[in-house]
Chain A
Amino acid sequence: MAGRKAALKAVDWAAFAERVPPNQRAMFNALKTRNDALTARLAALPEKPPAIDWAFYKANVAKAGMVDEFQKKFSALKVPEPVDTQSAKIDAQEKEAAKSTAEYIQASKARIAQYEQQLQKLKNMIPFEQMTFEDLSEAFPETKLNKEKYPFWPHKPIADL
């Protein structure tokens, strides 16, 4: 069972806010408001309730033994700590997030590699002034004329001219 005084980890809201993408801003704001509300509530409550003045009550209450009984039961009373049902879910969420993040980063890196490759190809291209039509078809395969399908000039449907 987690100790009662589980220290609250300081969350750097500014840095957090930086990393939120614009389409998730609303959710972030909701989370922040909740957090603020809870902090306010927590700060309003005292850490320990004030102590009961047993001597006064013992002096004033006539019923014999009542105050003693109360006192005994009160000191023996253990207020149960609320059970933490959500932390496990949070941990599970975190693991899942870690996994999906790893996948996303993987895919992202693959995309970056692809882009880099294309970038290199474009950068290493010979300048257009020195290209022949063959060179152009090599560099940009989409410009290649399909001479089998359209054997007659202009080798592409007239509408595409």
Chain B
Amino acid sequence: RALCPLVPSAPAALRALPPPVAVGVLHTTRPLHTTQQSLAPVPPLPEKGGEVRHGLIPEEFFQFLYPKTGVTGPYMLGTGLLLYLLSKEIYVVNHETAAAACILTVIIYGIKKFGADVAAFADKLNEEKVASALAMKNEAIQTLQTAIEEEKKEQWRVEGRSYLFDAKRNNIAMLLETNYRERLLMVYNEVKKRLDYQVAMQNLKRQKEQDHMIQWVEKNVVQSITPQQQKESIAKCILDLKALSKSAHAAV
């Protein structure tokens, strides 16, 4: 409560009085702009005003009379005063008295019945305004905090740029290495191809020579067989066959 910060700072004599009186006295003796800190913000007003009895008479009056006259003192004073005014006709009862009585009755009845609701309604209106303002303020605070976090996160992200360049350099190194290896391989392949070609050519030539030689020899041999030789060789063959058949007969 707003009262609390003020009451403890009040002098001891004030605190001895019961709280409603203390607040009431504080209202009158608030130290405003008396010290050197006169530019400091004024402390907030208390939430509730001083206490009153019967809506009119402040509590301090009753407390003031209590030591001398007890609890009933102020009431006796009030009643006596009222009777005096009426009996001495200092206050004259006329038609306006009746009007006042009716009006006051209605007013007091109305306030007692609907006072609290109207107060709550008015408070609610104010509450809504304050709540919306507070919501905006909280939202603003939240936005700022998220913005700060986002910025920090971006800074962290940016620190990772070395990865990018490492990756790029890796790519380049790999490309170069690949290229070099491909070149070596190409050289090897080309040399091998040529040597293999030579060997293959030689083999082929040799093959062809052999074939040609064989063919030529065969051709010459066939040519050189004269008809005379042919007859002789056929006769020889027949003799050999006969001999063979004889030995075959014998074997069987």
Contact = CB atoms under 8 A, between A and B. Distances in A.
A46 B180 CA distance: 11
B232 interface: no
Range of interface residues on chain A? 35 or more
A146 interface: no
B170 A31 contact: no
B188 A49 contact: yes
B191 interface: yes
Interface residues of B, number: 55
Given A79-B184, A84-B176, A122 B154 contact: no
A112 B172 CA distance: 38
B56 interface: no
User: Mostly helix, strand, loop or mixed at chain B's interface?
Assistant: helix
B175 to A, nearest CB: 6
Task: Provide the main secondary structure of the chain A interface.
Answer: helix
A82 interface: yes
Given A79-B184, A112-B152, A123-B141, A57 B171 contact: no
A79 B180 CA distance: 8
Contacts of B151: 108, 111-112, 115
Contact of B185 (A9, A15, A45, A60): A45
Contact of B166 (A11, A61, A97): A11
Contacts of A115: 144, 147-148, 151
6 contacts: A16-B160, A19-B163, A49-B185, A52-B188, A90-B169, A129-B130
Interface of B: 41, 44, 130, 133-134, 137, 140-141, 144-145, 147-148, 151-152, 154-161, 163-185, 187-189, 191-192, 194-195, 198-199, 202
Nearest 6 CB-CB pairings of A with B: A19-B160, A49-B188, A16-B163, A82-B179, A38-B174, A45-B181
Interface of A: 4, 6, 8-9, 11-12, 15-16, 18-21, 31, 34-35, 38-39, 41-42, 45-50, 52, 57, 60-63, 66-67, 70, 74, 77, 79-82, 84, 86-87, 90, 93-94, 97-98, 101, 104-105, 108, 111-112, 115-116, 118-119, 122-123, 125-126, 128-130
